[in-house]
Structure 1
Amino acid sequence: MGSIDTTFPSPAVNHSPAVFRIFIGYDPREDDAYEVCRHSLLKHSSIPLQISAIKQADLRASKLYWRDRGPTESTEFSFSRFLTPYLTGFQGWAMFVDCDFLYTADIAELVALLDDRYAVMCVHHEYAPKETTKMDGAVQTVYPRKNWSSMVLYNCSHPKNHLLTPDLVNSQTGAFLHRFMWLEDDEIGSVPFSWNFLVGHNLVNENDPSTFPKAIHYTSGGPWFERYKDCEFADLWLKESEELKKEKKLVKN
């Protein structure tokens, strides 16, 4: 399907309800991861997508993001991700996803699960990482609801999400934001873990198709980092990366 690519859309833009909006967290150190994530989404999608990169530099230039980077922020989008509802103009549904994902299934299957009863929907992980560092030596922090915010479906028009203004996102604590503390527990819907399959944590049961990953999350680090070049599912990411390079070469020629 076709896509619309932007850095991030103006809140004033009117979006077609037929186009599903996806915001991917962007960090300059993980440009390859971003490109592969985007490619995998588009390749499998049967519905039109509007994909936007959440780039901190652009948000700062637009005076939407101004908080100082803290020692526990492993990526540039650790907090800017929570601007997703604001960037849609608080309209409709949208998804935020970390750039270290690889999609193996049609995102339309996930969109079909959207339920207006909830303010957000995500995988309710029970995750306590064993490693003390991740990616390129970034500190691995442990907190309740860890990785819930790494892939979130936002009901952007939900009244509670109107609280996620630039002022709040730039001033609130990591605990408040990553634990969804602006919401009640019953306002946080659940989706199957296969849509945020944590490499090194979630397991595939060959006799249970529901355990097969539809979105692989290289949460500790992916094969674009030398340290993780042999991680589980690295072959799938590398194959996608090569496919993308060949497509770009064909377009260039």
Structure 2
Amino acid sequence: MTATSPVRIFCGADRSQQLAFRVLAHSIERHTSRPVEIRLIDNGDAPMPADPRHAPYTEFSFARFAIPAMCGHAGKAIYMDSDMLVFADIGELWDSPLDDAKIAIEVGSRDQETRGRHAAVMLLDCARLDWKVADIVAGLGERYDYNALMAIDPLLQPGEMQERIPAGWNDLDRYEAGRTRNLHYTEIRTQPWVYAGHPHGDLWVRELRGMLDEGDIEPEEIRAEVEAGYARPSLLVELALEPAPAGGRGTEALQALDREYGFVAHRKLLARFAERKKAIARWRRDEATRARPWLGWWYALVYRYRYGKGE
């Protein structure tokens, strides 16, 4: 790749994170003078496992494994989740030396309290990653389980993933001026587009407000996200697109407004989690019945007690 080649960034997101993706992309572009190509990816091209125990938690969980192929197995690429906000030049991450590593992650990210989040920000050497999504998904349950796969380790040899990205490029739900280059809003129930009260949510709202001021997003587009249930109603008040309630624009008043509207953060994603859990229970019931058919009535009774009738 040449010095003028664009920084290639792939962001995992489903429909509920379209607004978050746009805000992230804006923050990336605002802090760099380099040409960037930012692309949203999902599980569209990935096969789905037949075994529900290995089904993806999100609609983009497997998408990251397609990135090297999308790049023609040439050059570099950055992977990021979409629930993030950037405060520094992405070129610093892009220029991190890979040397003999195939993947670079943030320095110290393995030691963070929330395990497994190190793979949310990666610099990939696409020329050296011969990943094939279908083969990787097929390995679930045989060569590794879902959580291990999401940590990437089973796909690499020791030393092929190294901590080479400067610290601050994957700060989990914390912001420290002078250190934080990328703020990762990891807790889905408190992400600022669905919850008024995240300690650093004002930073995200400020970025979105800047997009409105610059004409990079229209008020109607934000209203559409609220109407679809992907963003909280109180966000319109914070952005002065709707009048403040009687209680003002304080956190408690905004949260009360969301409750009044019956808003539930990530309602559809939580329903997906619940359905996944139910499918796994159904699979275990059927497997247990095949192994001990004389106890099938008991396994069915336990399933109905926990999940109700219908299957």
TM-score, reference length from structure 1: 0.73
Name which one, 1 or 2, has greater alpha-carbon Rg. 2
Tell me the residue number matched to 1:193. 167
Tell me the residue number matched to 2:149. 176
Residue number among 102, 113, 118 corresponding to 2:101 in the alignment: 118
Tell me the residue number matched to 1:157. 127
Quote the sequence identity (%): 26
For residue 198 of structure 1, report the CA deviation from its aligned partner.
0.6
The worse-fitting range, judged by mean Cα deviation, of 96-105 and 172-181 is: 172-181
Distance 1:213 1:106 in 2: 12
Distance 1:218 1:250 in 2: 21
Q: Confirm whether residue 103 of structure 1 aligns to residue 70 of structure 2.
A: no
Q: CA RMSD in A?
A: 2.7
Tell me the residue number matched to 2:38. 51
TM-score, reference length from structure 2: 0.60
SS class of match (2:162): strand
- Report the CA distance shift for 1:182/1:71 in structure 2 as closer, same or farther (over 3 A): closer
Gaps of 5+ in 1: 1-13, 130-144
Distance 2:72 2:171 in 1: 30
Kindly indicate whether the alpha-carbon contact (under 8 Å) linking 2:78 and 2:94 is maintained by their aligned counterparts in 1. no
Tell me the residue number matched to 1:78. 61
Kindly indicate whether the alpha-carbon contact (under 8 Å) linking 2:10 and 2:40 is maintained by their aligned counterparts in 1. yes
Distance 1:196 1:170 in 2: 26
- Deviation per CA, 1:207-232, whole angstroms, max 9, x where unpaired? xx4xx210000011310112xx2113
Aligned positions, number = 206
SS class of match (1:194): coil
Residue identity opposite 1:75 in structure 2: T
Tell me the residue number matched to 1:236. 203
- Report the CA distance shift for 1:250/1:244 in structure 2 as closer, same or farther (over 3 A): closer
Gaps of 5+ in 2: 141-145, 220-311
Higher relative contact order (CA 8 A, sep 6+): 1
SS class of match (1:89): coil
SS class of match (1:46): coil
- Report the CA distance shift for 1:88/1:250 in structure 2 as closer, same or farther (over 3 A): closer
Q: Confirm whether residue 37 of structure 1 aligns to residue 61 of structure 2.
A: no
SS class of match (1:170): helix
Structure with more helix by fraction: 2
Distance 1:238 1:250 in 2: 13
Structure with more strand by fraction: 1
For residue 107 of structure 1, report the CA deviation from its aligned partner.
0.5
Distance 2:23 2:217 in 1: 17
Alignment of 1:20-31 (within 5 A): 20-31=7-18
Kindly indicate whether the alpha-carbon contact (under 8 Å) linking 1:67 and 1:171 is maintained by their aligned counterparts in 2. no
Q: Confirm whether residue 66 of structure 1 aligns to residue 40 of structure 2.
A: no
